[in-house]
Chains A and B, each alone.
Chain A
Amino acid sequence: MKSAVVQLPGLNRDRDMIAALTLISGKAPVTVWQTDTEIPDVDLIVIPGGFSYGDYLRCGAIAARMPVMQAIRAKAEAGVKVLGVCNGFQILLEAGLLPGALMRNASLRFVCKEVKLEVVNAETAFTRAYGKGQIIRCPVAHHDGNYFADAETLERIEGEGQVVFRYAEGTNPNGSLRDIAAVTNAAGNVLGMMPHPENLIEAAHGGSDGRGLFASALDVIAA
């Protein structure tokens, strides 16, 4: 499976993401710059974390209006898998590719710690390496991860299985409604999440709970 990593001024988790994708798929991803209007033929496009455009205006707001996002939108509509982590999640929400919005953390503090995630939907292209209800560890590092959607949207995405991960065991770090940590679009091929699975994939990280997400998306699940 081939993958691509998007690069924009201010994103700083791209190297971690490239390392994770290379390790798990055995192939280095191609990189795509913000002004690119075409994306090579890949199976997975990843928007990594960071602070694109200094979080000016709203987190992800400026990045979401860059030319590359039109190309990503077209790929997403064609069924290509798109993953946004942290700032990548904020960018996908600002681009209207996912439902809801991310607000300032309820504590008003930047949180950098490990949380527990419950796998709410194990039937997505990103989570099939996990079991439903499984609890995994995952690091978070953000200031604006407080998931919000209106009541009607919340009911709809819960009902359609679009809530993929929930903060578990009282570890909600940001005040997200219904402990929501990750959501997909209606088609299920676009996933956004605040936690950083790319930072928990090998022994040197202290665990590999995040590996299943990439193994699922890159189709490298052991039989």
Chain B
Amino acid sequence: MIKARVTVTLKNGVLDPQGKAIEGALGALGFDGIGQVRQGKVFDLTIETADREKAEADLKAMCEKLLANTVIENYTIALD
């Protein structure tokens, strides 16, 4: 079994109103020097295979087809 983590983040240049609100809230809590906050998503998956190459290829297809909207988001894949 392979464990994988997919991280989906907004592309540069895409406005992130939620990140902005979090940025403001951190400032209100007294945290100084916050440059920018960008909110993203993390998916932890387990895949029933020992074939890491296939798992990676499948994960890439999953990202392209569903997990990320590549119009606005980038993704990274990490295998355990």
Which A residues contact B (CB, under 8 angstroms)? 57-58, 61, 65, 93-94, 100-101, 103-108, 146, 148-150, 175
Cα A105 to Cα B14 in complex, Å, equals 13
Is B15 on the interface with A (CB-CB < 8 A)? yes
Q: Are B17 and A61 in contact (CB under 8 A)?
A: no
Which B residues contact A (CB, under 8 angstroms)? 13-18, 21, 65-67, 69, 71-72
Q: Are A146 and B72 in contact (CB under 8 A)?
A: no
Instruction: Using CB atoms, name the residue of chain A closest to B10.
Output: A103
Instruction: Using CB atoms, name the residue of chain A closest to B41.
Output: A57
**Would you give 30 A-B contacts (Cβ < 8 Å), ordered by A?**
A57-B66, A57-B67, A61-B69, A65-B65, A65-B66, A93-B71, A94-B69, A100-B71, A101-B69, A101-B71, A101-B72, A103-B14, A103-B15, A103-B16, A103-B17, A103-B72, A104-B18, A105-B17, A106-B15, A106-B17, A107-B17, A108-B17, A108-B18, A146-B17, A148-B15, A148-B72, A149-B71, A150-B13, A150-B71, A175-B17
Residues of B within 8 A of A103 (CB): 14-17, 72
Cα A143 to Cα B60 in complex, Å, equals 29
- The interface residues of chain A, by DSSP majority, are classed as loop
Cα A148 to Cα B11 in complex, Å, equals 12
Contact of B15 among A93, A100, A107, A175 (CB under 8 A): A175
Residues of B within 8 A of A148 (CB): 14-15, 71-72
Q: Given known contacts A106-B15, A106-B17, is B66 in contact with A61 (CB within 8 Å)?
A: yes
Instruction: Using CB atoms, name the residue of chain B closest to A96.
Output: B71
Residues of A within 8 A of B16 (CB): 103
Give min CB distance, B80 to chain A, whole Å.
Answer: 23
Residues of B within 8 A of A106 (CB): 15, 17
Give min CB distance, A150 to chain B, whole Å.
Answer: 7
Residues of B within 8 A of A149 (CB): 71
* A-B complex: 5 closest residue pairs judged by Cβ atoms: A101-B71, A101-B72, A104-B17, A106-B17, A108-B17
Give min CB distance, B69 to chain A, whole Å.
Answer: 6
Give min CB distance, A174 to chain B, whole Å.
Answer: 10
